Amino acid sequence: MSDQENVPPAAPAAPTAPTAPAAPSGPPSAPRPRSSGPGGGGDRGDRGDRGGRPPRDDRGGGAPGGGPGGPGGRKGKRQFFRKRKVCRFCVDKVDFIDYKKAEMLHQFVQDRGKILPRRMTGTCSRHQRWLCEAIKRARNIALLPFASEL
Partner 1 sequence: MEERLYDLIFILRPATPEEEIAKLTHTLEQVISEHHGKIEKQENWGTKRLAYRVSKHREGIFIYLSLKSTDGEMVKELERRLKVAEPVIKYQTIRLDEEMKLQKKLVARREKKIARRPRRQAPPAAAAPAPAGEQPSATPAT
Which residues of the shown chain bind partner 1 in the complex (CB under 8 A)? 93, 95-96, 99-100, 102, 137, 139-146, 148-149
Report the residue number, 7 or 143, with the smaller CB distance to partner 1.
143
Distance CA(15)–CA(24), nearest Å, equals 9
Q: Which is nearer to partner 1, 73 or 96 (CB)?
A: 96
How many CB atoms lie under 10 A from the CB of residue 61? 17
Q: Shortest gap between Cβ of 108 and partner 1 (angstroms)?
A: 15
Q: How far is the CB of 94 from partner 1 (least distance, A)?
A: 9
Q: Which is nearer to partner 1, 87 or 144 (CB)?
A: 144
32 alpha carbon, distance to own chain's centre: 9
Which is closer to partner 1, CB of 9 or CB of 89?
A: 89
Largest separation between any pair of C-alpha atoms in the chain: 59
- How deeply is 12 buried, as exposed, middle or buried, from its count of CB atoms within 10 A (0-12, 13-18, 19+)? buried
Minimum separation from the CB atom of position 105 to partner 1 (A): 11
Q: How far is the CB of 58 from partner 1 (least distance, A)?
A: 46
Separation in Å, CA 65 to CA 31, 76, 103: 12, 14, 34
